[in-house]
Amino acid sequence: MDFMDKAKNFVTDTVANIKKPEASITDVDLKDVGRDGISYLAVLSVFNPYGVSIPVGEIKYTLKSANRVIGSGTIPDPGSLKGNEKTVLEVGMKVAHSVLMSLMKDIGADWDIDYCLEIGIVVDLPVVGNFTIPLSHNGEMKLPNLKEMLC
């Protein structure tokens, strides 16, 4: 029994100390205004510490404002992370006009909304298997003015 406990502890310690990809949200900005809503684009920078590419299984996102979910989704199979490099990933998000109208108190005079963006990048690590890199970013999103919406 002592041998099994030592083996379990060794495996647990080894897995806990394995290098894992690191990521950050570098930008969130207005992308497009359409009839069905406003599109935003989040840009992620992910560093892969391994010498080989790692597949990204999916990216999940949730966009919140005023403690409400205003957009969420999943991007399946967005590509791979290049070995020993930073890879830039883009996450497109759409917010319906009707949702924005329900946030009028938050929008107020400055014509922006406070938001919290939560992203999970699911990668397939050697030995470990699927691993989710959690990211969170708070900020303000400017809304388009009437002129931008009509053009």
Q: Over the stretch 105-122, which tens digit does the pLDDT of each residue have?
A: 656 656 677 889 999 999
Q: Can you tell me the distance from the alpha carbon of 66 to that of 106, in angstroms, rounded to the nearest whole number?
A: 7
Residue 144 predicted with pLDDT over 70 = no
Pair 95, 87: CB distance under 8 Å: no
Mean pLDDT for the stretch of residues 122-144: 84
Residue 134 predicted with pLDDT over 90 = yes
**The residue to which tokens 């406003």 are assigned:** 38
Give Cα 150 to chain centroid, integer Å: 30
CA-to-CA separations, 108 to 6, 101, 141, 142, in angstroms, rounded: 60, 11, 13, 12
Q: Over the stretch 27-43, which tens digit does the pLDDT of each residue have?
A: 998 888 888 888 899 99
pLDDT, position 129: 81
Q: Where are the domains of the chain?
A: 20-150
Q: What CATH number is given for 20-150 in this structure?
A: 2.60.40.1820
Q: First CA to last CA across the chain, in angstroms? A: 72
